[in-house]
Structure 1
Amino acid sequence: MAKLNTRFHNIKINAKFNTLLILAFLVGIILSGVTLSNVLYQGAQHEISIQAELLMTTMNSLRLYTQDHVNPLLQSQLATAPRFIPEAIPTFSVREVSRYLSENADYKDFYYKDATLNPTNPKDQANDFETELVEKFKLQPELPELTGFRSTENGKKFYTARPFVVKEQRCLECHSYPNIAPKSLVATYGERGFGWKLNDIVATQIVYVPSEEVFNNARRSFFKMMSVVIGIFITVILLINFLLKKVVIVRIRNIANTANAISTGDMSNNFQENSKDEIGLLAIAFERMRASLLIAMDMLNQQQG
């Protein structure tokens, strides 16, 4: 450590200054990078969660519309129609709209599902992952939602899941017992999706939104912004070095060269400085010392003569 300190003290001011400046630059880059990365990551997460919330709200709005407006219009036909009319069921509506949405190239990775443990339509059957979510909601009914990331065949996706609770008696008309359900429903799907009870958690509403592209954009933004920050730091270092050399190093070197010449007996050199800053005051002090030395040498020569 002592040798390192000695070497550091022996190097030139410009090298010392650059060493300290580069260290400060590296610390600044690291801190800036960590801060910027956190900000962009949180921003990406916020954007993804907004997309998921928008999709969930849209599907729930469609569910309410089907339940309040479409279902009453078709209710009288459900009992007498030779075939079941699935358009009267909110779950059918949201599933079909989700399918149409995913057929759009811009939204092919957006997906909504009423993942049910015991569904009437097999298309609503919860997979293993969704079954685990339903079981969590059953164990912790106070949970409003679960969110996270999941790797799928189509890449990493963000999901938002909410418990689906049987809150209305009319839901049990098709899901309590086969003998009170529309005959066309039983004829179409068989004795599936029955045994539901009021206030039971029977499914989870879950939306999947793509996350890889959002995070890729965040990473690209990070590298672009860090390139700008590094470019600014390098420009500042070069500018400071230029000013340091012009304002400090060159002037101090001139003073040192003049002092060396005078020390060897060349009294014709003088300390020329027009500036009144600290280096200028140092040059003036040296000039006064040179003048005093000339006077002393003249007096000594007169005494000897």
Structure 2
Amino acid sequence: MLEHLNLRQKLTILLSIMVVVGLSLGGLGLSAVLKHNARQEITATALLIMETMTSVRDYTNQQVNLELADKFAVDFIPQSVPAYSAREVFEVLRRKTEYQDFFYKEATLNPTNLRDKADSFETQIVERFRKNKNLKELDGFRKIPGGDIFYIARPLAVTESKCLECHSTFNVAPKTMIDRYGTVNGFGWKLHEIVGVQMISVPARKVIQKSQQSSVWILGIVSTMFIGIIILVNIFLNHQILRPLKRITRIAEEVSTGHMDVNFQEISNDEIGKLAKAFNRMKLSLEMAMKKLKQFYNSTQ
């Protein structure tokens, strides 16, 4: 099939194949890189949220509880619980569009508030942190009925003895807390024990969509550049190669029919120009041979 195509068509097909193959292979690599970058970007945002929630917990422990110490001795105040404060602050943060897909949970093995109860998957994460004290962070993808999610988890340990005022035994816990949550859950904690994990999660589609959007933009730009290159190559090929070759071909056809008054134009010093010079020398040799042949013919008459 290629034998019936001209040089421009052959070169265009070759460049098109190179573009398709290049974009296909490059697209696969680019997709992996962009997905990694999207994951890193979302991870950075999630860690920032987690650090903010940790700051809220510290603030609640160090300042709110200190101010409410006298009242807390008489009445249990949920807002004085670091986990409660962090969760409520996060819900306020989620009202912003850029954070509405994020979810925060302090998944605890034995929480006072069953809202924070760890499920089987979260329990496995807690146990991993318990077994490896040097492990400070975990992330990955989790399958749930609503779709895969990407999560980041950090261990949650009892770092202050004041936490044990509510979580050691129900005998020393505030009566109003017992009235609210009962005597079954949230007790038996020990100082420095890992009791749960802070977990930030986001739908996996968020990571995929972010990388796909970037891929579409980048591949679109690269495709446009390649198309522009193909057009420029065709323009260059037409002006610098095809037109001179057509002109040489036309003159060669005229010379072949006996029109010796035409010359091959030597318009450049490249291969096309050298070809024109060679044809001019061939034409000159042909003229000389024809003159000698004519002289020989006249001398024999």
TM-score, normalised via structure 2 length: 0.87
Q: Which of 121, 124, 129 pairs up with 1:129?
A: 121
1:70 paired with 2:25, answer no
Letter in 1 for 2:47: E
Match of 2:104 in 1: 112
Deviations 1:215-267 (A, max 9, x none): 42432232133222212211211221122122112212322333344334443
- Please name the residue that 2:241 is paired with: 248
Q: Quote the Cα distance in structure 1 between the aligned partners of 2:296 and 2:18.
A: 59
Deviates further, 33-42 or 150-159 = 150-159
Give 1:17's match in structure 2, choosing from 11, 34, 38.
11
- Does structure 1 residue 184 correspond to structure 2 residue 173? no
Q: 1:42 aligns with which of 36, 41, 44?
A: 36
Name 1:237's counterpart in structure 2: 230
Partner AA of 1:69 in structure 2: Q
Name the stretch that deviates more: 86-95 or 106-115. Answer: 106-115
- The question of 1:300 aligning with 2:293 is answered yes
**Matching residue of 1:207:** 200
Distance in 1 separating the partners of 2:6 and 2:93: 68
Q: Residues 64-93 of structure 1, C-alpha deviation per residue, up to 9 Å, x if partnerless?
A: 0111111122223333x1x42222221221
Q: Is the 8 A contact 2:35 2:207 kept in 1?
A: no
1:146 corresponds to which residue?
138
Distance in 2 (alpha carbons) for counterparts of 1:105 and 1:24: 42
Q: Among 153, 158, 171, which residue is 2:163 paired with? A: 171
Deviation at 1:100, TM superposition (A): 3.1
Query: Shift in Å at residue 61 of structure 1?
Result: 0.4
* Amino acid of the structure 2 residue aligned with 1:218: S
CA distance in 1, matches of 2:295, 2:54: 110
Distance 1:13 1:105, change over 3 A: closer
1:280 to 251, 264, 273: 273
Q: For 1:164, what is the secondary structure of its paired residue?
A: strand
Provide closer, same or farther for how the CA distance between residues 131 and 243 of structure 1 changes in structure 2, counting only shifts above 3 A. same
**How many residues align structurally?**
297
Whole-angstrom distance in 1 between the partners of 2:201 and 2:242:
63
After superposition, the C-alpha distances for 1:172-215 in whole angstroms (9 at most, x for unaligned) are 22211222222332233221211112232211111223553454
* Counterpart AA for 1:91: A
Quick one: distance in 2 between partners of 1:154 and 1:62? 30
| 1:228 and 2:221 matched | yes
Taking the aligned partners of 1:14 and 1:109, their CA distance within structure 2 comes to 52
Corresponding residue of 1:4:
none
Aligned partners of 1:51 and 1:209 also within 8 Å: no
Partners of 2:117 and 2:157 lie apart in 1 by 16
Map of 1:3 onto structure 2: none
SS of the residue corresponding to residue 267 of structure 2 reads: coil
1:71-110 alignment runs, 5 A limit: 71-79=65-73, 81=74, 83-103=75-95, 107-110=99-102
**Quick one: which amino acid aligns to residue 273 of structure 1?**
E
Structure 2 match to 1:60: 54
- Classify 1:30/1:299 alpha carbon distance in 2 versus 1 (closer, same or farther; 3 Å): same
Q: Give the conservation status (yes or no) of the 8 Å contact 2:245–2:272.
A: yes
Which residue of 2 is the match for residue 219 of structure 1?
A: 212
CA contact (8 A) 1:48 1:158 kept: no
Q: How many angstroms does 1:106 deviate by?
A: 5.2
Q: Which runs of 5+ in 1 are unaligned?
A: 1-6
Q: Distance in 1 between the 2:198 and 2:18 partners?
A: 51
Q: Deviations over 1:115-156 (max 9, x none)?
A: 111111222211232222212222333211111233557665
What is the deviation of 1:31? 3.9
Counterpart residue identity of residue 11, structure 2: F
Q: Which amino acid aligns with 1:33?
A: G
1:27 to 21, 28, 53: 21
Does the aligned pair in 2 maintain the 1:101–1:110 contact within 8 Å?
no
> What percentage of residue pairs aligned between the two structures are identical?
43
